[in-house]
């Protein structure tokens, strides 16, 4: 029967104890040898009588003190990684303490043939012996780790993330990676060594290094790499048969420490939607930590990502509301792995039910609300405009009313670029929600604002998901029009900007996220087909009702400014009185009602009063 050696098992404990005893024994031996050698050097190897005996006694005394202090300072209790800076510092301080104690003792004792200066020399020799042994051990381990089998990996980025990954690869025999070298476009890092792994060049040398070193994997260790740059690297590596892997975006790395489990294959979402997002983490933390937060539509793509990111900031309570029980199950699984559906924080409700919302808000008493519940699929809503009205318009009115009655301090309505110069049912309904939210900001005591952005990659029903499925089935891949462009951003980065916007947004504003440069949908389809390596037809189907060739984020009549963050614009929408919202409409007049409710937002307006400066 095979013996297990996991932590806590007797065999593992015995091995750990033997290592610590060996370290202590070597350190003790270092003192026993160092002091006599120091004495011999002091007397040029011609020692007076009894001096060697005294030297051995002093050396043995120092050895005992070294072990005792080492135990007290946790040198022999597993606190430090062998050969690390922390261990060097701890060991040096211990050796100095032993040397100082020995020197003071010699000064207080009667004069003998033992030279007091030998204590200084001996301390240096003992420290050199102890440190040298550790560096040799670390070097041997490192060379052993470098010789392990695994995918021959070139790491792009010799910064903190790259350094962390190399340490993890060398420490984990089962990592599957054999680090060969770094490349980095910072010329000051050329020839730098990290754990024995050298920076071999820049990205301009990629093809040459791949061929010369037999590289199998390029690991991109730059969290802030842009989508165009990543796309270029992927194309270069694809032609050479090299796999590209990547670490998460900065907003997705928990605690700033990257782990081997964070490494993933490059997806189309990475290649199209990555944008460097810099946020004020201190500001966001102060805003969210310890607060009671409620998310509507928590089972959806945006809502579930909001829930995951909000949970990192340790709110006092995170309530997740959705009408889809399966979606709530999925988001709970992603948060705590339980999926029991027994948590009091999971709220099953439909935002169309105003009475139920009032009950929930009265019980939960949220301080911050993220309203992400909505119907979003444009073609379906063109066919069923009354459903868009009931959920997006009346549902938002209900949530706003419940929030006002419960005294919610900050309300963030999640909107869409379809609301800018709308021509679709979805766009009209979401513009109305922005205007209703601005209308709820009348007293200035609380902050009610909207956040508008474009397509998020990784959401259910996205064009990437559609193309991926069509390619898996052998095609054809369908594109509406060769001229169509769309804004894209990964769901994680979009949501993190939403959190930043929720901090700096002022009362009654609509905040608009910078989504980068629009991407041609035909380029997306072509690239995905190329990556698949298959011969797949591309078919143009024509624009669907309500679709635009190009989306805009800011309407023609809107004036946007960026007073606080370079990726977040602030605009105002005209207030819509909630009393103008009819309760009951049918399919025939739903579209005309929404047109009427949004048509007054056609000329530049000062909008709602902008009060309450950003915290």
Residues 104-145: tens digit of each pLDDT: 887 777 776 677 777 888 888 888 888 888 777 776 666 655
The whole-number average pLDDT for the span 30-45 is: 83
14-18, 269-273, 519-523, 535-539: range with lowest mean pLDDT: 14-18
Of the two residues 84 and 8, the one the predictor is more confident about is 84
User: What pairing do the DSSP bridges indicate for beta strands 197-201 and 193-194?
Assistant: antiparallel
Q: Please tell me which of 42-51, 218-227, 320-329 the model is most confident about, judged by mean pLDDT.
A: 320-329
Count of Cβ atoms closer than 10 Å to residue 133 Cβ? 18
* Token digits of residue 390: 């009931």
Q: Per-residue pLDDT for 81 more than 70?
A: no
Chain-centroid distance of CA 138 in Å reads 31
Instruction: Output phi, psi for 412, to 5 deg.
Output: -120, 115
Q: What is the rounded average pLDDT of the residues 92-98?
A: 86
pLDDT at position 1: 40
Q: pLDDT-derived band of residue 10, with 50, 70 and 90 as boundaries?
A: low
Contact call for residues 327 and 299 (beta carbons, < 8 A): yes
Smallest Cα–Cα separation from 98: which of 71, 129, 139, 67?
67
Q: Which of 246-255, 334-343, 352-361, 598-607 has the highest mean pLDDT?
A: 352-361
> Rounded CA gap, 234 and 243, in Å?
8
pLDDT at 601: 54
For the segment 584-602, the average pLDDT, to the nearest whole number, is 79
pLDDT, position 566: 87
The whole-number pLDDT of residue 196 equals 78
Own/partner contacts of 109-116, CB < 8 Å, gap of 24 or more, are 112/54, 113/48, 113/49, 113/50, 113/51, 113/54, 114/39, 114/51, 114/54, 114/55, 114/58, 115/39, 115/42, 115/43
Dihedral sign from CA coordinates of 353, 355, 360, 366: positive
Inform me whether the pLDDT recorded for 453 exceeds 60: yes
- Max CA distance (Å), the chain: 115
% of the chain beyond a pLDDT of 70: 88
pLDDT (mean) for 432-447? 85
Sheet holding 264-265, edge to edge: 193-194, 197-201, 177-183, 151-156, 217-220, 243-246, 264-265
The token duo for 461 is 């029903």
* Separation between Cα atoms, residue 574 and residue 343, nearest integer Å: 40
Residue corresponding to tokens 């909000």: 310
Nearest to 431 by CA among 198, 297, 312, 602: 602
Q: What is the 3-state secondary structure (H, E, C) of 515-571?
A: CCCCEEHHHHHHHHHHHHCCCCCEEECCCCCCCCCECCCCCCCCCCEEEEECCEEEE
| Residue at token pair 């804004």 | 487
Q: What is the pTM of this model?
A: 0.71
Task: Judge contact between 434 and 510, C-beta under 8 A.
Answer: yes
Q: What is the pLDDT of residue 295?
A: 97
Would you place residue 277 in the very low, low, confident or very high pLDDT band (cuts 50, 70, 90)? confident
Provide the token pair at 597: 């409710």
Quote the pLDDT of residue 122. Answer: 84
Residues facing 250 on adjacent strands: none
Question: Which tokens sit at 184?
Answer: 């980095």
pLDDT for 516: 81
- pLDDT score for 149: 67
* β-bridge mates for residue 183, sequence order: 156, 201
Closest CA to 432 of 560, 596, 568, 610: 596
pLDDT recorded at residue 2: 42
What is the mean pLDDT of the segment spanning 561-570?
89
Q: Which residue has the higher pLDDT, 232 or 224?
A: 232
What mean pLDDT comes out for the span 414-438?
93
Residue 476 contacts residue 540 (beta carbons within 8 Å): no
**Per-residue confidence (pLDDT) for residue 391, from 0 to 100:** 95
Please say whether the beta carbons of 496 and 277 come within 8 A: yes
What is the model's pLDDT at position 276?
Answer: 67
**Among 256-265, 431-440, 528-537, which range has the highest average pLDDT?**
431-440
With a cut of 70, say whether residue 148 has pLDDT above it: no
User: Is 216 within 8 Å of 235 (Cβ atoms)?
Assistant: no
Number of residues that this document lists for the chain: 615
Number of other residues whose CB lies within 10 A of the CB of residue 599: 11
User: CA 296, CA 429: separation in Å to the nearest integer?
Assistant: 17
CA distance 481 to 521: 8
- Stretch 477-502: mean pLDDT: 89
Q: What is the pLDDT of residue 146?
A: 53
- The 3-state DSSP class for residue 177 equals strand
- Least confident range from 164-178, 231-245, 333-347: namely 164-178
Structure tokens at 209: 């290094």
Pairwise CA distance, residues 203 & 192, whole Å: 15
Are 503 and 280 within 8 A, CB to CB?
A: yes
Average pLDDT over residues 371-375: 95
Average pLDDT, the chain: 84
Contacts of 164 (CB under 8 A, 6+ apart): 257, 258
> Which of 439-443, 446-450, 505-509 has the weakest average pLDDT?
439-443
DSSP E strands: which ranges in 316-423?
Answer: 317-322, 346-348, 368-371, 410-416
Minimal CA–CA distance to 331: which of 358, 296, 364? 296
Q: Which residues contact 222 (CB under 8 A, 6 or more apart)?
A: 156, 157, 159, 161, 247
Q: Which two tokens stand for residue 451?
A: 């956040």
Q: Give mean pLDDT, residues 276-303.
A: 91
Strands 317-322 and 292-296: parallel
Helical residues (DSSP H) of 241-353, grouped into ranges: 268-273, 281-288, 301-311, 325-336
Domains and CATH numbers, the chain: 18-144 (no CATH), 148-266 (3.40.50.720), 281-457+488-515+557-598 (3.40.50.720)
CA atoms within 13 A of residue 223's CA, in its CB half-sphere: 22
């Amino acid at each position: 029967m095979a013996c297990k050696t996991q932590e806590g098992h007797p065999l593992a404990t015995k091995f750990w104890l033997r290592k610590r005893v060996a370290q202590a024994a070597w350190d003790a031996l270092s003192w026993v040898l160092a002091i006599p050698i120091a004495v011999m050097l002091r007397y040029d190897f011609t020692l007076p009588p009894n001096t060697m005996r005294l030297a051995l006694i002093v050396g043995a005394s120092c050895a005992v003190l070294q072990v005792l202090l080492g135990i007290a300072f946790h040198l022999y209790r597993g606190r430090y990684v062998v050969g690390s800076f922390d261990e060097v510092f701890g060991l040096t301080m211990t050796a100095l303490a032993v040397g100082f104690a020995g020197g003071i003792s010699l000064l207080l004792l009667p004069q003998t043939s033992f030279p007091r200066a030998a204590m200084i020399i001996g301390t240096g020799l003992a420290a050199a012996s102890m440190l040298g042994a550790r560096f040799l051990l670390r070097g041997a381990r490192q060379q052993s780790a470098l010789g392990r089998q695994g995918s021959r990996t070139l790491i792009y980025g010799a910064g903190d993330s790259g350094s962390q990954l190399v340490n993890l690869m060398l420490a984990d025999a089962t990592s599957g990676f054999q680090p060969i070298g770094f490349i980095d476009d910072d010329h000051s890092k050329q020839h730098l060594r990290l754990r024995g792994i050298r920076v071999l060049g820049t990205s301009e040398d990629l093809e040459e290094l791949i061929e010369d070193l037999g590289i199998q994997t390029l690991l991109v260790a730059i969290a802030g790499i842009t989508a165009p740059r990543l796309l270029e690297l992927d194309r270069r590596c694809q032609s050479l048969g090299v796999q590209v892997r990547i670490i998460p975006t900065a907003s997705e790395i928990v605690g700033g420490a990257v782990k081997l489990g964070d490494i993933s294959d490059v997806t189309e979402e990475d290649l199209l939607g990555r944008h460097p997002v810099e946020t004020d983490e201190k500001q966001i933390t102060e805003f969210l930590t310890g607060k009671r937060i409620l998310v509507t539509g928590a089972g959806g793509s945006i809502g579930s990502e909001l829930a995951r990111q909000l949970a990192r900031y340790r709110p006092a309570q995170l309530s997740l509301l959705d009408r889809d029980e399966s979606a709530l199950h999925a988001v709970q699984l992603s948060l705590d792995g339980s999926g029991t559906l027994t948590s009091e924080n999971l709220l099953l409700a439909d935002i169309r039910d105003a009475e139920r919302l009032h009950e929930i808000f009265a019980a939960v008493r949220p301080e911050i609300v993220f309203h992400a519940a909505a119907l979003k699929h444009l073609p379906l809503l063109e066919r069923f405009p009354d459903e868009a009205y009931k959920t997006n318009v009346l549902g938002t009115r209900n949530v706003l009313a419940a929030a006002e009655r419960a005294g919610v301090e900050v309300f963030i309505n999640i909107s869409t670029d379809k609301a800018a110069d709308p021509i679709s049912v979805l766009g009209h309904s979401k513009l109305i929600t922005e205007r209703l939210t601005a209308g709820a900001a009348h007293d200035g005591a609380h902050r009610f604002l909207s956040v508008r952005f474009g397509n998020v990659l990784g959401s259910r029903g996205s064009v990437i998901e559609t193309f991926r499925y069509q390619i898996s089935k052998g095609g054809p891949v369908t594109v509406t029009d060769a001229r169509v462009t769309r804004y894209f951003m990964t769901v994680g980065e979009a949501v993190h900007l939403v959190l930043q916007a929720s901090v700096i947004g002022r009362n009654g504003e609509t905040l608009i996220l910078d989504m980068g440069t629009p991407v041609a949908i035909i380029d997306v389809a072509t690239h995905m087909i190329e990556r698949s390596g298959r011969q797949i037809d591309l078919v143009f189907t024509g624009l669907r009702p309500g679709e635009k060739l190009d989306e805009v984020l800011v309407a023609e009549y809107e004036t946007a400014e960026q007073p606080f963050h370079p990726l977040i614009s602030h605009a105002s929408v005209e207030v819509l009185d909630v009393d103008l919202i009819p309760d009951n409409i049918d399919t025939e007049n739903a579209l005309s009602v929404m047109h009427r409710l949004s048509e007054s937002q056609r000329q530049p307006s000062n909008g709602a009063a902008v009060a309450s400066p950003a915290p």
